[in-house]
């Protein structure tokens, strides 16, 4: 009798950016979505722009996670850039 083992490929972690839109700052954080979509796990604190270089801090955090691909990192940083630019163009 032959037995077969089916091994599912490991999925890349799904990452989401979270934002706090305030009058004088915008906060950016990153979470990992729990498999099955049952919530998220925080991967970073909130980084606040323009109080600090939130984009640079986010980039450093992403680079410290070897399991995040270069492609995923670029996508997340581009999304953060878009939201920061939108926040700057729409003052309260």
Average pLDDT over residues 67-83: 93
How far is it, in rounded angstroms, from Cα 75 to Cα 68?
11
Sequence spans of domains, the chain: 14-89
Query: Largest alpha-carbon pair distance within the chain?
Result: 70
The pLDDT of 77-90, averaged and rounded, is 92
Rounded to an integer, what distance in angstroms lies between the CA atom of residue 36 and that of residue 19? 23
**Model pLDDT, residue 39:** 87
Q: What is the pTM of this model?
A: 0.79
Domain 14-89 class, CATH top level: alpha beta
Instruction: Provide the token pair at 27.
Output: 């906060």
* Residue 91 predicted with pLDDT over 70: no
Q: Does residue 60 surpass a pLDDT of 60?
A: yes
Instruction: List pLDDT tens digits, range 1-43.
Output: 677 776 665 556 789 999 999 989 999 999 999 877 688 999 9
| Whole-angstrom distance, CA of residue 26 vs CA of residue 71 | 24
């Amino acid at each position: 009798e032959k037995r077969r083992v089916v091994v599912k490929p490991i999925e890349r972690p799904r990452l989401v950016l979270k934002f706090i839109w305030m009058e004088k700052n915008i906060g950016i954080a990153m979470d990992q979505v729990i498999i099955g979509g049952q919530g998220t796990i925080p991967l970073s604190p909130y980084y606040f722009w323009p109080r600090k270089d939130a984009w640079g801090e986010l980039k450093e955090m992403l680079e410290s996670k070897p399991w995040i691909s270069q492609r995923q990192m670029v996508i997340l940083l581009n999304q953060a850039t878009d939201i920061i630019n939108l926040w700057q163009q729409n003052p309260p």
